[in-house]
Amino acid sequence: EVIGSTVVGDDGKWEYTPETPLDKGDHEITTVVTDPAGNSSDPSPGVSFTVDPDPNQVTIGTVNDDQGPITGSMTEGNVTDDARPELTGNGKP
């Protein structure tokens, strides 16, 4: 699927920004050169990348108190005497 075209400048450089945003997910982009006579090259080697517009959300999974007379996993609203509770969670790698 062709997503657009551009012209190589006199300095040999080019750039392109898609007019329509790319879909979320994995993509591989290749280029094809077409000369003024209409002859086209084979596709270039592909460049692979992933579009992921979701923010990197980090969540807290558990808070563990391992100090004092009351220890264990804490729930919302608990009070702790542990000045260094263990926090675990998840986020995008």
Residue 65 and residue 49 share a domain: no
CA atoms of 24 and 82, how far apart (whole Å):
43
CB 34 within 8 A of CB 43: no
Domain co-membership, 34 together with 69: no
Task: Give yes or no: residues 40 and 64 share one domain.
Answer: no
Owning domain of residue 37: 1-53
Cβ atoms of 51 and 24 within 8 Å: the answer is: yes
pTM above 0.95, yes or no: no
Q: Is 85 found in the same domain as 49?
A: no
Same domain, 5 and 27: yes
| Same domain assignment for residues 9 and 44 | yes
Per-residue pLDDT tens over the stretch 17-74: 999 999 999 999 999 999 999 999 999 999 999 998 877 778 888 999 998 888 899 8
Domain tally, the chain = 2
